[in-house]
Structure 1
Amino acid sequence: MIDRVLGDIDTDLDNALARLFDWLRIQSISTDPAYAGECRRAAEWVRGELEALGFKAHLSETSLHPVVVGHKPKPGAPHVLFYGHYDVQPVDPLELWETPPFEPLLAELEPGRRVIRARGACDDKGQVMTFVEACRAWIATEGELPVGVTVLIEGAEENGSKGLPEWLAANKDELKADYALVCDTGMWDRGTPSITTSLRGLVYREIVVKAADRDLHSGMFGGAARNPIHVVARIVADLHDENGRVTLPGFYDGVPETPPEILAQWNALGLTPETFLGQVGLSIPAGEKDRSVIEQIQSRPTCDANGIVGGYTGEGSKTVIAAQASAKISFRLVGDQDPQKISAAFEAFVRERVPADCRVEILDHSAARAIQLPYDMPALVKAKAALAAEWGKEPVAIGSGGSIPIVGDFKRTLGLDTLLVGFGLDDDRVHSPNEKYDLSSFHKGARSWARILGALGS
């Protein structure tokens, strides 16, 4: 049975590419109101594709762009909820694109390696279509899917999924399933599939320290007047100790140790500081000194200054003591770290370091808990076997340093664990000019989803 499904994917690859290219031509940039019509057109396009496959599909409005919902139940079989997004990032700077971003084409990076180049090729239209094409092949060859499927494709992921959590809460009865599936992640390398088993949470705060009532002449006031840049710099510096650990009291509460067998698997991948950091011109890990680089980026919590501003930053010199300075700080969380407790500890940490004659404002930009899937989750075990059969190599169970907040909403609102399987690569230039998606990722991604659907239904 599965051989017929896979054979259909192989023989229909050119048609699948043509369909994907049609979708990629739609300029569905969610963050720019000027493209609202294009976002709706992208939603209508995928709704039409689902209806052509026999899904009962419709558009549902949110506070920003519509979501696409499609249902194809199978009584007595497991039911899955597949999530993806049709919106894309802006294309700026346009002059750095080698080809027009919304005119998709096949390009050859090197002999034997062809890629799909366009905005959205990887994030997330190409990834979504691997799942849709897998469904198409099952229906074409077997007349039905091996499991019941609900498809949810949103249009504001690149805009923080604005409106989606509220929509989920209002429509949760329509989204009942056994598992959620997400294809918006990546592979370990071109030949090694992976399943993302954890997503780091996030706390993002901004501090604004104000001192004098105006910028001051540093010759007249220097040495006597408080400099808010110094205050902010001290706060940022104090957030880490000499061993790379975060110094907030209670910060490591709820941080789990990675199981030894998973650590052994990670270590066998051979990721070194030289190979990982060398690609960006660095060589020495800055995180916890007693942790390997792969732990630092996948399973350990972090703190980073994402921006710091104060005083004169224009051309030439201007000798002032700034009236205010600010910094944006993000914490990536793991395990059971509590975003509210981290936020409260950070606020206390900051206020302790602000002098009495200064004022501080602390802004709260976002907070989300980390996600950790059980390593023995039945759907995960079946997906690992399916991926191994397709790629001829055991998939790697990896943690993601990034955050996908909607996965947390699936758990909290819908009670669903999420299986995250994607086929993106580190060099796909996601969010950058010349975004691409390897043809092998698209082709074998569709074959992989066909196998996973079959395994989940067995």
Structure 2
Amino acid sequence: MSGLSEVLARLDQCAATSLSELIEFASIPSVSAQPAHQADMERAAGWLMERFKRAGLQTVERWPTAGHAAVYAEYLGAGEDAPTLLVYGHYDVQPPDPLEKWHTPPFTPTVRGERIYGRGVSDDKGPLLLTVQVLDAYLSTLGRLPLNLKFLFEGEEEMGSAHLNELVAQNAGRLGADFVLSADGGMWSASVPSLTVSARGLAALELTLRGASKDLHSGRHGGSVHNPLHALASLIAGLHNESGRVTVPGFYDGVADLTPQQREGIRQLPFSDEAYLNQTGAPAVYGEVGYSTLERQWHRPTLEVNGLWGGYTGEGSKTVLPAEAHAKITCRLVPGQEPERIAQLLRTHLERRLPPGITLQIHSSDHGARAYRLPDDHPGAAVAREVLAELYGKPPLDVGMGGSIPVLETFQSVLGLDTVFFSFAVGDEDIHAPNEFFRVPRLYEGQKAWAQFWWKLGQQKLAERRPS
């Protein structure tokens, strides 16, 4: 029996234990956004540290931040000439609200059929945990790994990874690797293997419009002073034209159109607008004219209003002319766009269109991110495609991510590392929503795939992996 076969056999033997561990880990309500769960965050970090130690690692550390700590662990026994991977994931989860929508308690993970339900089982505790279980299988059977591994599991991803950039910069000397292999992310569907090769960037702003110094009686003052809600509605309505394009001057500067290859790749995907509408509950698709739904989601920049508020919104009527109106806006970006520049363009555009009698205050979020694309010839992508093709019997399709992951820019700008997504979560598993679930077979498929990835990469020579 070869070394890899022994590892895979060990994983099969421990299948029931692997699932039990996920149930135990997901029972910890590690909700990073809520201060009431501070102790639970510490408990989850401690649980991970103990699991690493049980797997056989000697170097396991809690890395504190100004918020929630990260967990770092390393195996460097393969030697300097062996490949080195930085494995990324996050142990924090989203709040479970609304609780009344859950069929079973969110932090009492429940297995029904081939699914395990619970907050965080898909995002990201299941995909994260299986990497540690594969590590354990290697060390318990072979006593070694074919490559060096560094694990960085943060506790603030669901809060925008607020302190990760600083943490990575402080520890850059210890985080050197050939590339990042991410347990976070997801696949296109349970039946179609895929490799995520791009993610859009992000620029976020919050607007505050002010008129009078206090709320006024709408009967006495309406029509005499400007209503901030009216001004805000006008500004928002003017941010897109009838073709769905953003009207901010300069917004599309530097944005390349899709290549024929990109369009053909999207056409090969098993996607239909009808199925998409059934999934979302929306009555019709909408967006920039001239592009398909997936082309807009993955390769075109967008501007969306995430929230509008002001005045009286309680029960009944209150005839108020509000002093303030507010909005939250996010722009999803593509290669060629810089978050700071887009935020400034939007600021300038809004200020120029501001009506008299209204003042505007704009707060730009610190959690912007550039768009990301994995190089087509990346050695990690080649290994991932080979592993997925062997596992599922067909080559994976390249897909994009409409959302943004700020950590991608952190790894690239601070460490100079590309990130290969290798998660076995699926996009329909209701992450961030009630009744989040993870397919139990994906736990075992992910274990096999990670074991094979490490084995295959470990057989490659350094010169073969690094471009000249």
Settle same-fold status: TM greater than 0.5. Answer: yes
Q: Secondary structure at the match of 1:26?
A: coil
Q: Write out per-residue CA displacement over residues 220-257 of structure 1, whole angstroms, 9 at most, x where no aligned residue.
A: 44444322222111111111111111111111123233
- CA distance, structure 1, for counterparts of residue 263 and residue 139 of structure 2: 40
Q: Is the 8 A contact 1:273 1:283 kept in 2?
A: no
- CA distance, structure 1, for counterparts of residue 41 and residue 214 of structure 2: 45
Of 220-229 and 411-420, deviating more is 220-229
Q: Secondary structure at the match of 1:279?
A: helix
- CA distance, structure 1, for counterparts of residue 60 and residue 310 of structure 2: 51
User: For residue 356 of structure 1, what is the amino acid of its counterpart?
Assistant: P
Residue in structure 2 matched with residue 105 of structure 1 by the alignment: 110
Q: Does 1:381 align with 2:386?
A: no
Residue in structure 1 matched with residue 70 of structure 2 by the alignment: 67
Q: Is the 8 A contact 2:55 2:132 kept in 1?
A: no
Q: Does 1:330 align with 2:330?
A: yes
Residue in structure 2 matched with residue 83 of structure 1 by the alignment: 88
Of 173-182 and 193-202, deviating more is 193-202
Scaled by the length of structure 1, the TM-score of the pair is 0.94
Residue in structure 1 matched with residue 421 of structure 2 by the alignment: 420
With over 3 angstroms needed to count, the CA separation of the structure-2 counterparts of 1:275 and 1:309, relative to structure 1, is same
> Once superposed, what is the RMSD of the aligned Cα atoms?
1.7
Q: Secondary structure at the match of 2:11?
A: helix
Residue in structure 2 matched with residue 396 of structure 1 by the alignment: 397
Q: Is the 8 A contact 1:54 1:72 kept in 2?
A: no
Q: Is the 8 A contact 1:271 1:293 kept in 2?
A: no
Residue in structure 2 matched with residue 228 of structure 1 by the alignment: 228
Q: Write out per-residue CA displacement over residues 78-123 of structure 1, whole angstroms, 9 at most, x where no aligned residue.
A: 1000011112222233333222222223112xxxxx1112222111
Q: Secondary structure at the match of 2:74?
A: strand
Once the 2 structures are TM-superposed, how far is the Cα of residue 283 of structure 1 from its aligned partner? Answer: 4.0
Once the 2 structures are TM-superposed, how far is the Cα of residue 179 of structure 1 from its aligned partner? Answer: 0.5
- CA distance, structure 2, for counterparts of residue 356 and residue 362 of structure 1: 17
Residue in structure 2 matched with residue 38 of structure 1 by the alignment: 40
Residue in structure 2 matched with residue 140 of structure 1 by the alignment: 140
Once the 2 structures are TM-superposed, how far is the Cα of residue 384 of structure 1 from its aligned partner? Answer: 0.8
Q: Write out per-residue CA displacement over residues 286-320 of structure 1, whole angstroms, 9 at most, x where no aligned residue.
A: 21110011111112111001111122222223333
User: For residue 270 of structure 1, what is the amino acid of its counterpart?
Assistant: P
Residue in structure 2 matched with residue 193 of structure 1 by the alignment: 193
Within 5 Å, give how 1:247-262 maps onto structure 2. 247-262=247-262
Q: Secondary structure at the match of 1:385?
A: helix
Residue in structure 2 matched with residue 16 of structure 1 by the alignment: 18
Q: Secondary structure at the match of 2:92?
A: coil
Of 72-81 and 319-328, deviating more is 319-328
Q: Is the 8 A contact 1:231 1:353 kept in 2?
A: no
Q: Does 1:289 align with 2:294?
A: no
Q: Is the 8 A contact 2:369 2:405 kept in 1?
A: no
User: For residue 89 of structure 1, what is the amino acid of its counterpart?
Assistant: Q
- CA distance, structure 2, for counterparts of residue 143 and residue 263 of structure 1: 47
User: For residue 319 of structure 1, what is the amino acid of its counterpart?
Assistant: T
Once the 2 structures are TM-superposed, how far is the Cα of residue 173 of structure 1 from its aligned partner? Answer: 0.4
Residue in structure 1 matched with residue 101 of structure 2 by the alignment: 96
Q: Secondary structure at the match of 1:150?
A: strand
- CA distance, structure 1, for counterparts of residue 185 and residue 94 of structure 2: 16
Q: Secondary structure at the match of 2:85?
A: strand
Once the 2 structures are TM-superposed, how far is the Cα of residue 210 of structure 1 from its aligned partner? Answer: 1.3
Residue in structure 1 matched with residue 60 of structure 2 by the alignment: 57
User: For residue 72 of structure 2, what is the amino acid of its counterpart?
Assistant: V
Within 5 Å, give how 1:296-445 maps onto structure 2. 296-366=296-366, 367-445=368-446
Q: Secondary structure at the match of 1:41?
A: helix
Scaled by the length of structure 2, the TM-score of the pair is 0.92
Of 38-47 and 310-319, deviating more is 310-319
With over 3 angstroms needed to count, the CA separation of the structure-2 counterparts of 1:411 and 1:130, relative to structure 1, is same
With over 3 angstroms needed to count, the CA separation of the structure-2 counterparts of 1:228 and 1:452, relative to structure 1, is same
User: Size of the alignment, in residue pairs?
Assistant: 453
- CA distance, structure 1, for counterparts of residue 161 and residue 347 of structure 2: 27
Residue in structure 1 matched with residue 462 of structure 2 by the alignment: none
Of 233-242 and 22-31, deviating more is 22-31
User: For residue 77 of structure 1, what is the amino acid of its counterpart?
Assistant: A
With over 3 angstroms needed to count, the CA separation of the structure-2 counterparts of 1:50 and 1:275, relative to structure 1, is same
Q: Secondary structure at the match of 2:122?
A: coil
Q: Give % identity.
A: 40
Q: 4+ residue runs of structure 1 moved beyond 6 angstroms?
A: none
Once the 2 structures are TM-superposed, how far is the Cα of residue 383 of structure 1 from its aligned partner? Answer: 0.7
Q: Does 1:127 align with 2:122?
A: no
Within 5 Å, give how 1:158-197 maps onto structure 2. 158-197=158-197
- CA distance, structure 2, for counterparts of residue 216 and residue 302 of structure 1: 36
- CA distance, structure 2, for counterparts of residue 135 and residue 369 of structure 1: 32
User: For residue 243 of structure 2, what is the amino acid of its counterpart?
Assistant: N
- CA distance, structure 2, for counterparts of residue 337 and residue 353 of structure 1: 23
Q: Write out per-residue CA displacement over residues 248-267 of structure 1, whole angstroms, 9 at most, x where no aligned residue.
A: 11111232333322321211
User: For residue 308 of structure 1, what is the amino acid of its counterpart?
Assistant: L
Q: Is the 8 A contact 1:88 1:119 kept in 2?
A: yes
Q: Is the 8 A contact 2:206 2:362 kept in 1?
A: yes
Q: Write out per-residue CA displacement over residues 58-80 of structure 1, whole angstroms, 9 at most, x where no aligned residue.
A: 21221122211111112121100
Q: Which runs of 5+ in 2 are unaligned?
A: 460-468
- CA distance, structure 2, for counterparts of residue 455 and residue 260 of structure 1: 32
With over 3 angstroms needed to count, the CA separation of the structure-2 counterparts of 1:51 and 1:362, relative to structure 1, is same
Of 332-341 and 219-228, deviating more is 219-228
Q: Is the 8 A contact 1:387 1:448 kept in 2?
A: yes
